[in-house]
Amino acid sequence: MTQPALDLVIAALEKIRESSDRAPRASRSLLAQLQTAPRVAASLPATPKSHEGGWEARASSARRRLQPTPNKAELLEPVRERVRACTKCAHLACSRTQTVFGVGNPDADLMFIGEAPGIDEDKQGEPFVGRAGQLLTKILKAMNFARDDVYIANILKCRPDTAPGSFGNRAPTPTEMQTCRPYLVEQIEIIEPKVLVALGAVAVEGLLGMRGTMRELRGRWHAYNGIPLMITYHPAYLLRNQAPSEKRKVWEDMLQVLERLERPITERQRNYFL
């Protein structure tokens, strides 16, 4: 948030507090930025004199006096540290190589949410770097995004453990998802994306606590905490089912995302997989 915008928020919150019984509500990231406000408020006159112009004058005074505040990357660091040290799921803490927190731009407008790290992600400490991840990167490229333009995270920060000698990944259990979900909630609260994309039914269950088939869920707007949420197939599904019709469904979902973000869409982009 820019400094003048922050000043206006502070002034507006003060106005609401003064004129209403209802406490104003603000996001975690905004609250962190507002932490400097008491210092500002303390140094400002409680009741501005009429020639000082009321709350607007207080806002402009606040603008001059506000201290630098932590940015979103800085706000994510303590969460990353807590995830790194997390042992809430003792079995996963024992089996993981490392935790996989998230990657990308903390100021992103667009955030993707997957299920859990696989074997490659567990090795590299970064989400979506295996085959499904490479396909996600291709989808992003087709949308005119680099991985660094968006933010990518999973419901689970640890790879679900598998029996020794067994092959492939297992889905996270509901308990594992409930245990890990608060970390993702914090990431979303800090990043404040304009649009969320949930990749697959497991990500939807982890985020919204709602079970459904992808046929029912995908291709239309849902919401998470007031943030528009598009649900689409997990890229791993597209690796299993390479029919152009399925690729087109995912692409149509991504076109809706681009429209929602008011990004330009070329005719060529519109016609992919037709």
Instruction: Tell me which residues touch ligand URA (CB under 6 A).
Output: 114-118, 121, 127-128, 130, 132-133, 154
Q: Which two tokens stand for residue 30?
A: 């905004």
- Shortest distance (Å) from residue 263 CB to ligand URA: 24
Dig out the tokens for 221 from the structure.
Answer: 């707007």
3-state secondary structure of 147: helix
Q: 231 forms bridges with which residues in the sheet?
A: 198
Q: How far is the CB of 117 from ligand URA (least distance, A)?
A: 5
| Token representation of residue 253 | 């979902």
Q: What is the smallest separation between the CB atom of 114 and ligand URA, expressed in angstroms?
A: 3
The tokens describing 40, both together, are 């500002």
- Where would I find the beta strands (DSSP E) of the chain? 103-104, 110-114, 151-154, 195-199, 221-224, 227-232
Q: Tokens 């985020």: give the residue.
A: 207
Choose between 181 and 263: whose C-beta lies nearer to ligand URA: 181
- Torsion sign across C-alpha atoms 35, 36, 42, 48: negative
Closest-approach residue to ligand URA (CB): 114
Closer residue to ligand URA in complex, CB, 112/251: 112
HSE (CB half, 13 Å, CA atoms) of 273? 17
Q: Residue 238 Cβ, how far from ligand URA at the closest point, in Å?
A: 12
Cβ closest to ligand URA, residue 104 vs residue 118: 118
- Would you say 15 or 123 has its CB closer to ligand URA? 123
Burial class (CB in 10 A: 0-12, 13-18, 19+), 75: buried
C-alpha closest to that of 187 among 155, 145, 234 = 155
Complex with ligand URA: residue 66 or 135, whichever CB lies closer = 135
Per the CB < 8 A criterion, the answer to whether 53 and 31 are in contact is no
In three-state secondary structure terms, 186 is helix
Closest approach of ligand URA to the CB of residue 98, in Å:
13
Q: By C-beta, is 8 or 117 nearer to ligand URA?
A: 117
- Smallest distance, ligand URA to C-beta of residue 27, A: 26
